[in-house]
Amino acid sequence: MFEQVAVPTPFQVGPVNAYLTGRTLVDPGPDSEEAWSRLTEALAERDLTPADIEQLLITHPHPDHFGLAKKFRERGATVVAHPDAASIMADFPGRLDAEQAYFREFFERCGMAPDTADTVTELPGAFVHYAPSVTVDREVAAGDEVAVDGTALRVDDLAGHATGEISFAFDGSAGREAIVGDNVLEEITPNPFLQPPDEPEAERPRILPAYNDCLSDLRTAGYDRLHPGHRGRIEAPTERIGAILAEHDERTERVVDMLDEPTTPVEVMTELFGDLPVTEQFPGMSEAVGHLDVLEAAGRVTVEERDGDIVYERTE
């Protein structure tokens, strides 16, 4: 039903997958000349122009997925996304500012040097121009349906990779299929990035535990094919999801073995990955804190604050 179009991005992950059927486009890619050129070329091959796109579906509010939404909306497309994604997309620079402020302080409490925390949290600002803010015209969530070429796509919520991420399921040539954004990838184990709390005084979301639960639900849902945000289609979803969960479990066990004495998340990250460049430390911290969250949820570690640092220790 959907044709995959690989759209170039400036990000380390490489091209992002846009999906096209009729006059509906899913995840157009970042706002760059290269991405726009590739998409207009793909549309022209189908005797279409950007103005012919009537509906733009967004799986999640990351720049490599929604960045071109504003251009398509200006040409008449209806933008469809989750309510939580809509609030982020409406003011993407504002969201980034809030994330930077939260994580600068949080990473210091995790044992990171202040100047390093400044650099790590400021780096994403270099990419904000790839994602102009845009208004979402229709907000959808689990249980809703989106009509595409006479087919009803069934919306479901996804947890772990991004705030407001959703999937679009349909009956296709392989059986039960779904577009799943970055929650399941064929060649990459997705990194569930840390997310700030919804409110200033609220608890930080525990992303990796929620992501593991989401993957478990997807594994039992009986999909025959998944269409991911990057690389190739996933023809054996149950096996691939099982492999991702197994990798998570193996790393969680590695982390618990590190906690003979009070240990900061930065020390866990260094033990896991060595001396990471600052460009990789946000993903590295997301991994370290995520596995500590899994262990905390299972009652396998204690957590407390000592002299301004958050420290974890294995329970006896």
Residue 107 has phi, psi (to 5 degrees) of -65, -35
Alpha-carbon gap, residue 178 to 200, rounded angstroms? 35
Give tens-digit pLDDT for 186-197: 988 888 899 999
Confidence category of residue 78, pLDDT binned at 50, 70, 90: very high
Q: Given a cut of 80, is residue 36 above it in pLDDT?
A: yes
Q: Given a cut of 90, is residue 86 above it in pLDDT?
A: yes
Q: Is residue 239 part of a domain?
A: yes
Mean pLDDT of 228-232: 96
At residue 170, the pLDDT reads 97
Q: Is residue 7 part of a domain?
A: yes
Dihedral (CA of 280, 37, 131, 167) sign: negative
Q: Is residue 120 part of a domain?
A: no
Q: Is residue 175 part of a domain?
A: yes
Mean pLDDT of 170-188: 95
Q: Is residue 35 part of a domain?
A: yes
Give tens-digit pLDDT for 234-278: 999 999 999 999 999 999 999 999 999 999 999 999 999 999 999
At residue 316, the pLDDT reads 76
Q: Is residue 227 part of a domain?
A: yes
Nearest to 139 by CA among 157, 151, 152: 157
Q: Is residue 264 part of a domain?
A: no
| Residue 307 vs residue 72, higher pLDDT | 72
Number of domains in the chain: 1
> What pairs with residue 93 in β-bridges?
none
At residue 188, the pLDDT reads 86
Q: Within 13 Å of residue 249, how many CA atoms lie on the same side as its CB? A: 9
Alpha-carbon gap, residue 70 to 130, rounded angstroms? 11
Mean pLDDT of 216-224: 96
148: CATH: 3.60.15.10
At residue 198, the pLDDT reads 84
Q: Is residue 260 part of a domain?
A: no
Confidence category of residue 292, pLDDT binned at 50, 70, 90: very high
Q: Given a cut of 80, is residue 156 above it in pLDDT?
A: yes
Structural domain harbouring 12: 3-89+128-247
